[in-house]
Amino acid sequence: MITSRDVAKLAKVSQTTVSRAFRDECYIHPETRKRVLEAANQLGYFPNYSAKSLKKRQSKIIGLLLTNYSNKFYTTITQSVESHMNDNGYRLMLTFSDEKPDKERKYLESFISSRVDGIIYIPVSRENEDLVKATEQFDIKVLQFTRNLYEYLDSFFIDDELGAYTATRYLTNMGHRRILIIESEINRGASMKIEGYRRAMREAGAELIPEGMLYLNADADPTSAIAYAASDLRPTAILSSSSMFTLPALNACQRLKLNIPEDISFIAYDDNEWLDFMHIDAVAHPMDEIGAQISDFLLKMINSKEDDGVHQPVVRMIKPHLVVRSSVKRIEG
Amino acid sequence: MITSRDVAKLAKVSQTTVSRAFRDECYIHPETRKRVLEAANQLGYFPNYSAKSLKKRQSKIIGLLLTNYSNKFYTTITQSVESHMNDNGYRLMLTFSDEKPDKERKYLESFISSRVDGIIYIPVSRENEDLVKATEQFDIKVLQFTRNLYEYLDSFFIDDELGAYTATRYLTNMGHRRILIIESEINRGASMKIEGYRRAMREAGAELIPEGMLYLNADADPTSAIAYAASDLRPTAILSSSSMFTLPALNACQRLKLNIPEDISFIAYDDNEWLDFMHIDAVAHPMDEIGAQISDFLLKMINSKEDDGVHQPVVRMIKPHLVVRSSVKRIEG
DNA sequence: TTGTAAGCGTTATCAC
DNA sequence: GTGATAACGCTTACAA
pLDDT digits (tens, 9 = 90+) for B214-243: 999 878 899 999 999 999 999 999 999 999
Q: What percent of chain B has pLDDT over 70?
A: 98
Q: What is the pLDDT confidence band of residue A71, given thresholds at 50, 70 and 90? A: confident
Give pLDDT, residue B308: 54
Residue A219 scores a pLDDT above 90: no
Give pLDDT, residue A17: 96
Residue A75 scores a pLDDT above 60: yes
Portions of chain B given CATH number 3.40.50.2300: 160-284
Q: Is A184 on the interface with B (CB under 8 A)?
A: no
Residues 6+ apart with CB under 8 A from B8: B14, B15, B17, B18, B36
CATH 3.40.50.2300 fits domain A160-284: yes
Number of C-beta neighbours around residue A216 at 10 A: 22
The closest of B78, B159, B86, B164 to B121, measured between CA atoms, is: B78
Chain D nucleotides reached by a protein CB under 7 Å: 1-5, 7-13
Q: Which chain B residues are within 8 Å of A254, Cβ to Cβ?
A: 277
Give pLDDT, residue A309: 63
Average of per-residue pLDDT across B183-205:
95
Q: Which chain A residues are within 8 Å of B93, Cβ to Cβ?
A: 61, 91-94
Average of per-residue pLDDT across A299-317:
83
Check A112 against B46: CB less than 8 A apart. Answer: yes
Which protein residues have any CB–strand D distance under 7 A? Answer: A 12-17, 20, 26-29, 31-33, 51, 54-55, 57; B 1, 3-5, 15-16, 19-20, 22-23, 45, 47-48, 51-52, 54-56
- Is the backbone of residue A234 left (phi > 0), alpha (psi -120 to 50) or beta? left
Distance CA B176, CA B266 (A): 11
Give pLDDT, residue B186: 86
Domain at A1-45, CATH homologous superfamily? lambda repressor-like DNA-binding domains (1.10.260.40)
Query: What b/e string do you get for B112-151 counting C-beta neighbours within 10 Å, with b at 16 or more?
Result: bbbbbbbbbbbbbeeebeebbebbeebebbbbbbbbbbbe
Q: Is A288 on the interface with B (CB under 8 A)?
A: no
Q: Which chain A residues are within 8 Å of B250, Cβ to Cβ?
A: 277
Burial of B183 (0-12, 13-18, 19+ CB in 10 A): buried
Q: Which of B24-28, B33-37, B75-79, B171-175 has the lowest mean pLDDT?
A: B24-28
Q: What is the pLDDT confidence band of residue A10, given thresholds at 50, 70 and 90? A: very high
Sheet order of strands, A213-216 included: A213-216, A179-184, A237-240, A265-269, A281-284, A321-323
Check B86 against A75: CB less than 8 A apart. Answer: no
Average of per-residue pLDDT across B311-327:
95
Eight-state DSSP code of residue A238? E
Strand (E) or helix (H) holding A96: strand A91-96
Give pLDDT, residue A220: 86
Summarised one tens digit per residue, pLDDT across range B64-81 is 999 999 889 999 999 999
Give pLDDT, residue A306: 62
Q: Three-state SS across chain B?
A: CCCHHHHHHHHCCCHHHHHHHCCCCCCCCHHHHHHHHHHHHHHCCCCCHHHHHHHHCCCCEEEEEECCCCCHHHHHHHHHHHHHHHHCCCEEEEEECCCCHHHHHHHHHHHHHCCCCEEEECCCCHHHHHHHHHHHHCCCEEEEECCCCCCCCEEEEECHHHHHHHHHHHHHHCCCCCEEEEEEHHHCCCCHHHHHHHHHHHHCCCCCCHHHEEEECCCCCHHHHHHHHHHHHCCCEEEECCHHHHHHHHHHHHHCCCCCCCCCEEEEECCCHHHHHCCCEEEECCHHHHHHHHHHHHHHHHHCCCCCCCCCCCEEEECCEEECCCCCCCCCC
Q: What is the mean pLDDT of chain A?
A: 95
Chain C nucleotides reached by a protein CB under 7 Å: 1-5, 7-13
Please tell me which residue of chain A has the smallest CA distance to B273.
A247
First to last CA, chain A: 77
Distance CA B81, CA A114 (A): 20
Portions of chain B given CATH number 1.10.260.40: 1-45
Do residues A242 and A185 lie in contact, with contact meaning Cβ atoms separated by under 8 Å? no
- CA B104 / C1′ C9 distance in Å: 26
Q: Which chain A residues are within 8 Å of B53, Cβ to Cβ?
A: 50
Judge whether residue A54 contacts strand C, using its CB and a 7 Å cut-off: yes
Average of per-residue pLDDT across B101-119:
98
* Three-state DSSP state, A6: helix
Distance CA B301, CA A244 (A): 37
Average of per-residue pLDDT across B34-44:
96
Query: What b/e string do you get for A89-111 counting C-beta neighbours within 10 Å, with b at 16 or more?
Result: ebbbbbbbbeeeeebbbbbbebb
Average of per-residue pLDDT across A104-116:
98
Q: What is the pLDDT confidence band of residue A308, given thresholds at 50, 70 and 90? A: low
Q: Which chain A residues are within 8 Å of B50, Cβ to Cβ?
A: 50-51, 53-54, 59, 114-115
Q: What is the mean pLDDT of chain B?
A: 95
* Three-state DSSP state, A287: helix
Distance from CA of B173 to the nearest CA of A (A): 29
Residues 6+ apart with CB under 8 A from B221: none
Number of A:B CB contacts under 8 A?
Answer: 113
Q: Is B49 on the interface with A (CB under 8 A)?
A: yes
Q: Is B75 on the interface with A (CB under 8 A)?
A: yes
Please tell me which residue of chain A has the smallest CA distance to B139.
A1
Q: Which chain A residues are within 8 Å of B83, Cβ to Cβ?
A: 96
Predicted TM-score of the model (pTM): 0.94
Q: What is the pLDDT confidence band of residue A332, given thresholds at 50, 70 and 90? A: confident
Residue B333 scores a pLDDT above 80: no
Q: What is the pLDDT confidence band of residue A333, given thresholds at 50, 70 and 90? A: low
Residue B288 scores a pLDDT above 90: no
Distance CA B53, CA A29 (A): 33
Nucleotide nearest to B5 (CA to C1'): D9
Check B92 against A93: CB less than 8 A apart. Answer: yes
Distance from CA of A204 to the nearest CA of B (A): 34
Summarised one tens digit per residue, pLDDT across range A270-279 is 999 999 999 9
Higher-scoring residue by pLDDT: B147, A267: A267
Residue B250 scores a pLDDT above 70: yes
